[in-house]
Amino acid sequence: MSTALPAPTAPTPLRRPVAPQPPTREAVCRALVDVTWPARKADLVRAATPRRARTDIVRLLETLPDAPYLGPNQVCRTLFGPHGHTQPSP
C-alpha cells in the first residue's frame, strides 16, 4: 500500500507592505455622501464616521475650521487647496 505525498507547492512570494495612500478628494467626497448641506465641521465628521471612512480622512475633516460649508467642493478646496494637493500639516 503506497501513501501518496502531497504535491509540492510553489513558495508564496513575499509581499511588501503597501504604503498607505494619502487622502484624496474622491475619498473625502465618498465619506460625505450622506451630508445635508450646508454643514459644519461637526456634521461632516459625524457623517464620515458611520460610513466607515478611513481614520486619516476623519482626522483630516477634524482639521477643518468650524464654519458652514456649502458642499463637498468647498470642503475639498479648504482641505486640498485649489489645485487638489493636500496642504502640509502645521
Q: Domain-by-domain residue ranges, the chain?
A: 25-80
pLDDT digits (tens, 9 = 90+) for 6-62: 776 766 666 666 667 888 999 999 999 889 999 999 999 999 987 678 899 999 999
Q: Find where cell 481614520 sits.
A: 55
pLDDT (0 to 100) of residue 89:
45
Q: Find where cell 487638489 sits.
A: 84
Cβ atoms of 29 and 61 closer than 8 Å: no
Task: Write down the pTM of the prediction.
Answer: 0.69
pLDDT (0 to 100) of residue 42:
95
Cα 40 from Cα 54, distance rounded (Å) = 20
pLDDT (0 to 100) of residue 88:
45
